[in-house]
Amino acid sequence: MQLLQTVHAQASTTIATGIGPDISTLGQLFAFVLNIILGAGFALVLIMLAMGFVQYIMSQGDKAGVEKAQKWVTFAVVGGIGLFLVYVLRTVMSQITGGQITESTVGSGLTL
């Protein structure tokens, strides 16, 4: 009677591609970069809005401080509208070209 047996195990041959998304086409790369730009832009808009509102509160009625705060909020709103138009343009272009906006491929990216 033999107590130990020889066991042969099959090793996995898959190699991890990395931490980021699996990008294999130019359309996926474009969508990934555009999503990063949109995400960072919307984050910047929120920070600018917050800074404008804080500056408005801290101005305590000082005319120069209020004007500075209004400029921050105005620039943030204009930037937010511009980013929203880029988002709409991305969606329209995906409809025209027949691409799909998928969540699994590149975040919320455009797959062509």
| 105: nearest Cα among 38, 21, 29, 35 | 21
Greater confidence (22 vs 32) lies with: 32
**Where in the sequence is the domain holding 91, given as residue range(s)?**
26-111
CB 90 within 8 Å of CB 106 = no
Mean pLDDT of 89-111: 63
Domain membership flag for residue 12: no
Q: Is residue 20 part of a domain?
A: no
Q: What does the pLDDT look like over 33-76, one tens digit per residue?
A: 888 899 999 999 999 999 999 999 999 888 999 999 999 999 99
| Total tally of structural domains belonging to the chain | 1
Does residue 102 lie in a domain region? yes
pTM as predicted: 0.63
